[in-house]
């Protein structure tokens, strides 16, 4: 594959229509970050640190903020779509590394969608009165991801108005949790002191349990990196991106901390950490008269949106790599009537089904998503420093040098086994990347065979 072919695929040509101003970009960023993480993993974070459940979310916010500064320099310097793959290719020019980064992003989308499917199934079981056991949740989750695949195949047009609606629905659920929590606090209910009570295994101290919980909480902060793919559809991206992206991160960070405080005030850490529907328990404890089914539907709507967005992204990435002949050509086929990449959709849906069926647990899937993206973020932070030698004619954001250095170090640190990360996450990530590498080598061999004269 030639450099100009890769560059064309990574956004060097064919500008998109610029329709997004600061307001719509902010809603896109907030809506992309909000979703499955906070709805599904708050309880698991509480199980690690007890009442100080807000602290890992705060640490995760700080780590995400460092990498966001790196993304800001790159997106204002190269206001093109394709994100991490584009920056990796520009910085290192190694096609295989670019492929690994792109496939890791794709894999993170599939694991994120699988996490959302499990969360959807757990909430569906609760509000319908079905058995909430592992087998039933798995069956529902498999059916849900199949439905997502069908919707993806049919084709889902991107609409700013729909994005605004989905963001408001996701936001309403979290604001409801905050409102219920603080209403209870001012009404003398709950136990605010729990928010400052640290609980962990004897002899562990504070540092390592918080780090272990942060590896889970980080899943709730991802999504901001997707916004750089909207650069070609934004008005004056080099000017508006810094304030909007940082503003979106701050808004979601504050919401997450307030949700965590409200949740632990009303529900003890041990109870919050049981099951896959922690925020439903908060509503039941703080507003027993509120129809729990309504909040369950809000939660399902939020995680369903996350699943669909991630599966669309994953299938299009697979399609794009097949079009560039770095994956088997069959994965790049487009359906004649629907005009959607149906083979890529089937491929990513089957991977998600295998993850749901054989892995299952929400923490393992969410943790794998965070692990893959931490590795991608480490590469992006290094790319910022490498690309300092590449000068562009227009003005752009420049982050202080220590920020990407600290960002790379923290991402590598949080991706390491010393954090207490569940080893199964490395196994899942390794299998997914090994699948991608195998497909890469199959494609290379086929291409060489085709190129040889008869």
Tens of pLDDT, residues 71-85: 999 988 887 655 788
Distance separating alpha carbons of residues 417 and 409, to the nearest angstrom: 14
Return the pLDDT at 351: 93
Return the pLDDT at 155: 63
Percentage of residues in the chain having pLDDT higher than 70? 88
395 inside domain: no
In eight-state DSSP terms, residue 200 is -
Tens-digit pLDDT profile for residues 234-270: 677 777 888 889 999 999 999 999 999 999 999 999 8
Q: Is the pLDDT of residue 166 over 90?
A: no
First to last CA, the chain: 22
The three-state secondary structure class of 20 is: strand
404 inside domain: no
* Backbone angles phi and psi of 189, in degrees to 5: -95, 170
Q: What would the two tokens of residue 143 be?
A: 């059916």
Which of the two residues, 189 and 398, has the higher pLDDT score? 398
Judged on CB neighbours under 10 Å (0-12, 13-18, 19+), 327 is buried
Return the pLDDT at 430: 93
Distance separating alpha carbons of residues 140 and 122, to the nearest angstrom: 8
Return the pLDDT at 231: 61
Asked if 370 and 219 count as a contact pair (C-beta separation under 8 A), the reply is yes
Return the pLDDT at 132: 62
402 inside domain: no
pLDDT tier, 202 (very low <50, low <70, confident <90, very high otherwise): low
8 inside domain: no
**What's the total number of domains in the chain?**
1
Return the pLDDT at 30: 83
Q: Which domain holds residue 237?
A: 18-390+409-451
401 inside domain: no
Q: Is the pLDDT of residue 159 over 50?
A: no
pLDDT tier, 35 (very low <50, low <70, confident <90, very high otherwise): confident
Name the residue with tokens 């790196």.
70
Any idea how long the chain is? 454
Which span out of 31-40, 96-105, 376-385 was modeled with the highest average pLDDT?
376-385
Asked if 265 and 46 count as a contact pair (C-beta separation under 8 A), the reply is no
Exposure b/e, 57-71, CB count within 10 A at least 16 = b: bbbbbebbbbbbbbb
CATH, residue 79: 1.20.1740.10
210 inside domain: yes
pLDDT tier, 10 (very low <50, low <70, confident <90, very high otherwise): very low
3 inside domain: no
Q: Is the pLDDT of residue 359 over 70?
A: yes
Exposure b/e, 134-170, CB count within 10 A at least 16 = b: eeebbebbbebbeebbebbbeeeeeeeeebeebbebb
5 inside domain: no
pLDDT tier, 214 (very low <50, low <70, confident <90, very high otherwise): very high
Return the pLDDT at 383: 95
Neighbours of 289 (CB within 10 A): 5
Q: Is the pLDDT of residue 31 over 70?
A: yes
Tens-digit pLDDT profile for residues 385-443: 999 998 888 888 899 999 999 999 999 999 999 998 889 999 999 999 999 899 888 88
Return the pLDDT at 366: 83
- Distances in Å between the Cα of 373 and the Cα atoms of 96, 209, 215, 339, 366 are 18, 21, 11, 30, 11
């Amino acid at each position: 594959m030639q450099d100009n072919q890769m560059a064309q695929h990574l956004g060097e040509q064919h500008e998109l229509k610029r329709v997004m101003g600061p307001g719509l970009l902010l809603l896109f960023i907030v809506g992309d970050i909000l979703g499955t993480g906070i709805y599904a993993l708050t309880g698991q974070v509480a199980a690690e640190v007890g009442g100080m459940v807000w602290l890992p979310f705060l640490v995760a916010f700080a780590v995400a903020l460092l990498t966001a500064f790196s993304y800001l320099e790159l997106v204002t310097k190269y206001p093109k779509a394709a994100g991490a793959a584009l920056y990796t290719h520009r910085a290192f020019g190694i096609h295989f590394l670019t492929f690994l980064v792109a496939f890791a992003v794709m894999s993170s989308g599939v694991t994120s969608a699988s996490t959302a499917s499990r969360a959807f199934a757990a909430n569906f079981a609760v509000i319908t009165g079905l058995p909430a056991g592992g087998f039933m949740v798995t069956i529902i989750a498999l059916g849900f991801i199949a439905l997502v695949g069908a919707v993806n195949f049919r084709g889902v047009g991107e609409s700013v108005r729909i994005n605004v609606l989905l963001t408001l629905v996701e936001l309403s659920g979290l604001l409801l949790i905050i409102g219920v929590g603080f209403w209870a606090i001012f009404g003398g209910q709950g136990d605010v002191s729990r928010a400052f009570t640290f609980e962990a295994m004897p002899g562990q101290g504070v540092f390592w349990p918080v780090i272990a919980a942060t590896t889970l909480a980080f899943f709730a902060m991802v999504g901001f990196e997707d916004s750089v793919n909207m650069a070609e559809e934004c008005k004056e991206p080099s000017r508006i991106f810094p304030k909007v992206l940082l503003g979106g991160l701050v808004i979601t960070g504050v919401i997450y901390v307030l949700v965590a405080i409200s949740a632990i005030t009303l529900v003890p850490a041990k109870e919050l950490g049981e099951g896959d529907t922690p925020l439903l328990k908060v509503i039941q404890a703080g507003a027993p008269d509120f129809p729990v089914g309504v909040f369950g539907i809000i939660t399902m709507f939020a995680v369903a949106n996350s699943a669909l967005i991630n599966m669309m992204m994953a299938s299009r990435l697979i399609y794009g790599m097949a079009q560039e002949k770095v994956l088997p050509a069959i994965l790049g086929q487009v359906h004649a009537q629907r005009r959607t990449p149906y083979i890529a959709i089937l491929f990513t849906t089957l991977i998600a089904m295998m993850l749901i069926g054989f892995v299952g647990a929400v923490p393992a899937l969410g943790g794998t998503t965070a692990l893959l993206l931490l590795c991608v973020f480490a590469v992006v932070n290094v790319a910022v420093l490498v690309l300092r030698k590449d000068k562009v004619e227009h003005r752009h954001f420049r982050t202080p040098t220590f920020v990407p250095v600290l960002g790379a170090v923290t991402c590598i640190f949080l991706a390491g086994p010393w954090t207490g990360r569940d080893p199964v996450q490395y196994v899942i990530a390794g299998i997914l990347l090994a699948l991608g590498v195998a497909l890469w080598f199959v494609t290379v061999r086929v291409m060489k065979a085709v190129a040889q004269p008869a």
